Amino acid sequence: MKAIRLFTLCLLCLCLSASFSAAVTIKIATAAPEGSSWMREMRAGAVEIDQRTEGRVKIKFFAGGVMGNDKSVLRKMRVGQLHGGAFTSGSLERIAPSINLFGLPLVFRSYAEVDHVRHQLDAELKQVLEQAGLISFGFAEGGFALLMSQQPIWTIEDVRGQKIWVPEGDAISYRVMESLGLAPVTLPITDVMTGLQAGLVEVIASSPIGALAFQWHTRVKSVTNTPLSYLYATMVIDKKAFSGILPADQPVVREVMEGIYARINQANRIDNEAAIKAMADTGIGFVEMTEIEISKWRGIAIDVIEDMRQEGLFSAELYDRMQKLLEQYRKSKVAVQ
């Protein structure tokens, strides 16, 4: 009898131990401001995951850049202090060079082109990240980066020599801005406002929703309403950390987080339109480049992109597929007209 009780007690201890070890807390950093719609979505998702996994998976977010810039977050992920982060595509170039494929300057001319390409290639880019050891839950559109400054920008000559912000780690944008005759200033997203206030930065390339969220719009008076590059972000979790989640719980995390990113992706396009109106209502002017001028910018961008393609800075295969998709789409639009 005593042996049976001892066996039962040991079995109970083993069960409790297994239950305890199965509980995982995933720590994720983001520059998204606390209280923003993005963070409300994320925190609601964390609650849902906690409930659906019966407490076995908890997501802890560190918002507002409190964990430092993207470089710091990646370093903390490597040592296990953090397990994941939300990054713009350019911030992950060094880990997964092709991840910024959609963000190549002046590639897209409309959201319709973006939708056509992303429908075909989003899964490919997620695979690029997974091969680099990062689990992604999809991509959230940031919108088109527009040039924003104190003075109207109509031509390349209007910006030559001016100090333009380039996101930390975005080597492609840096080289393109240099080729356009600008003076790129590399800063993490958390330091852009300080740079604008101090005069370290004179021009930014941002989506309207980003400019409003981070209050950068308060430091500019003019926006050039020409799509410079397509901005998008993703939240990633280190593959090793994700594997620490019970196999039965991993699909729950994927389902919830993928749903969140799909909703944010859709909402951000609507919010960008609202942000444009909000900025115009504050007195910020919007100017349009001529088609001749846009062609000049595109010509410079194409030359730089081709150089980087030859250097192997991104997948030539994926780039060629993207260009073929764009060519097919543009031909179909011409045929319809």
6: confidence class by pLDDT, cuts 50, 70, 90:
very low
Rounded CA separation 148/159 (Å): 11
Rounded CA separation 294/264 (Å): 30
Cα 120 from chain centre: 18
Question: Tokens representing 68?
Answer: 């430092």
Contact 138, 237 (CB under 8 A): no
Q: What are the tens digits of pLDDT across the range 65-98?
A: 999 988 899 999 999 999 999 998 888 988 998 9
How many other CB atoms are found less than 10 A from the CB of residue 9? 10
What was the pLDDT predicted at 4? Answer: 43
44: confidence class by pLDDT, cuts 50, 70, 90:
very high
* Over residues 131-153, mean pLDDT: 95
* Over residues 163-186, mean pLDDT: 88
Specify the DSSP element, H or E, that contains 223. strand 222-238
* Over residues 128-145, mean pLDDT: 95
Q: What are the tens digits of pLDDT across the range 216-226?
A: 999 999 999 99
- What are 147's strand-pairing partners? 205, 224
What was the pLDDT predicted at 168? Answer: 81
What was the pLDDT predicted at 164? Answer: 95
112: confidence class by pLDDT, cuts 50, 70, 90:
very high
| Cα-based torsion angle of the residue sequence 101, 268, 156, 116 in order, rounded to the nearest 10 degrees | 50
Query: Does position 139 have pLDDT exceeding 50, yes or no?
Result: yes
Q: What are the tens digits of pLDDT across the range 198-215?
A: 999 999 999 999 999 899
* Over residues 35-57, mean pLDDT: 94
What was the pLDDT predicted at 335? Answer: 66
What was the pLDDT predicted at 7? Answer: 42
What was the pLDDT predicted at 94? Answer: 86
Query: Does position 123 have pLDDT exceeding 70, yes or no?
Result: yes
The H-assigned helical ranges of the chain are 2-22, 37-52, 70-78, 111-131, 171-179, 192-198, 208-213, 239-243, 250-281, 291-310, 316-336
13: confidence class by pLDDT, cuts 50, 70, 90:
very low
114 SS3 class? helix
**Residues of the chain above pLDDT 70, percent:** 93
Q: What are the tens digits of pLDDT across the range 261-304?
A: 999 999 999 999 999 999 999 999 999 999 999 999 999 999 99
What was the pLDDT predicted at 22? Answer: 65
What was the pLDDT predicted at 199? Answer: 94
| Cα-based torsion angle of the residue sequence 38, 192, 68, 99 in order, rounded to the nearest 10 degrees | 70
Average pLDDT, the chain: 90
Query: Does position 15 have pLDDT exceeding 90, yes or no?
Result: no
What was the pLDDT predicted at 11? Answer: 42
19: confidence class by pLDDT, cuts 50, 70, 90:
very low
Rounded CA separation 185/115 (Å): 31
Alpha-carbon distance values, 23 to 17, 18, 19, 47, 50 (Å):
10, 9, 7, 15, 10
